[in-house]
């Protein structure tokens, strides 16, 4: 009976783990490079998004291109995408179009990013470690589709798939949130500082997710703000 339980546990690890939990002080660890692993996030916007903010924290020594957050619909695989093509750039996609934000090269520590967009003006904001970069214009008048597959660690080149492992993420991800509003500057800074935040479509403290492949949930090893 013990060996049967062990075999079932192995099978569960291969097929993925589904959970809903408070991930405070925990991280997703993507252990291999390149990787076919990813995490599917369960959230269903009730209607198309005319405003949104996505925030997350990453810790990696990758210098090659990698995807952080991918939101794909059947009509558009890069409906929302946070992508880092090289150490000094982030690329932010809405509806298949993108803008690039230049950033200082990481010093090998956690990086917290927030990207927000509003349809009415087409203004895209990007915040790195609690500080805004110059705003840019992107997809004015567009509406982000509601029927989506949302995942971490891979870039979807098709609805729910079409991965290129050389765009995969390796390292640690934490503090993932998605709101259907643009956050105020005070809330952007609060997200960086892990303070109290407004209710979200996706919230790290009550995250519904499914892991696929070699990715595990582990305790955070150090404080993310460097204190």
In a domain, 10, yes or no: no
The token duo for 204 is 């790290």
In a domain, 133, yes or no: yes
Taking Cα atoms as reference points, which of 70, 5, 8 lies closest to residue 38? 70
Q: How far is it, in rounded angstroms, from Cα 101 to Cα 108? A: 19
Q: Which pTM does this prediction carry?
A: 0.91
pLDDT tens per residue across span 203-223: 999 999 999 999 999 999 977
> Is the distance from CB of 149 to CB of 38 less than 8 angstroms?
no
Taking Cα atoms as reference points, which of 155, 173, 168 lies closest to residue 72? 155
In a domain, 32, yes or no: yes
Residue 107, pLDDT score: 85
> Is the distance from CB of 168 to CB of 22 less than 8 angstroms?
no
Tell me: pLDDT of 13 over 80. Answer: no
Torsion over CA: 85, 102, 158, 37 (sign):
positive
Q: In this structure, what CATH number is given to the domain that contains residue 177?
A: 2.60.120.200
Domain count, the chain: 1
- Mean pLDDT across 150-163: 97
In a domain, 12, yes or no: no
Using CA atoms, how far residue 184 sits from 91, 119, 132, 160, 193, in Å, is 21, 16, 11, 31, 14
DSSP helix/strand/coil, 148: strand
Q: How far is it, in rounded angstroms, from Cα 127 to Cα 92? A: 12
Residue 5, pLDDT score: 38
pLDDT tens per residue across span 119-128: 999 999 999 9
Provide the residue range defining the domain that includes 40: 18-219
């Amino acid at each position: 009976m013990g060996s049967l339980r062990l075999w079932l546990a192995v099978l569960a690890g291969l097929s993925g783990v589904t959970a809903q939990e408070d991930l405070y002080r925990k991280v997703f660890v993507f252990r291999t490079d390149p990787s076919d692993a990813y995490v599917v996030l369960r959230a269903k916007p009730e209607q198309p998004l005319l405003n949104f903010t996505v925030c997350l924290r990453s810790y990696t020594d990758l210098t090659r291109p990698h995807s952080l957050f991918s939101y794909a619909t059947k009509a558009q695989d890069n409906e929302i995408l946070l992508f880092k093509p090289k150490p000094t750039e982030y690329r932010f996609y809405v509806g298949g179009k993108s803008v690039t934000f230049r950033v200082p090269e990481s010093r090998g520590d956690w990086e917290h990013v927030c990207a927000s967009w509003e349809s009415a003006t087409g203004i895209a904001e990007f915040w790195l470690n609690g500080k805004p970069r110059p705003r840019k214009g992107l997809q004015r008048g567009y509406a982000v589709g509601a029927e989506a597959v949302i995942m971490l660690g891979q870039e979807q080149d098709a609805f729910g798939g079409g991965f290129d492992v050389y765009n995969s993420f390796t390292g640690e991800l934490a503090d993932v949130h998605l709101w259907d509003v643009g956050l105020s500057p005070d809330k952007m800074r609060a997200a960086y500082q892990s303070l109290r935040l407004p209710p979200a479509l996706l919230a790290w403290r009550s995250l519904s997710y499914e892991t696929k492949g070699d990715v595990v949930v582990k305790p955070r090893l150090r404080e993310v703000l460097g204190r």
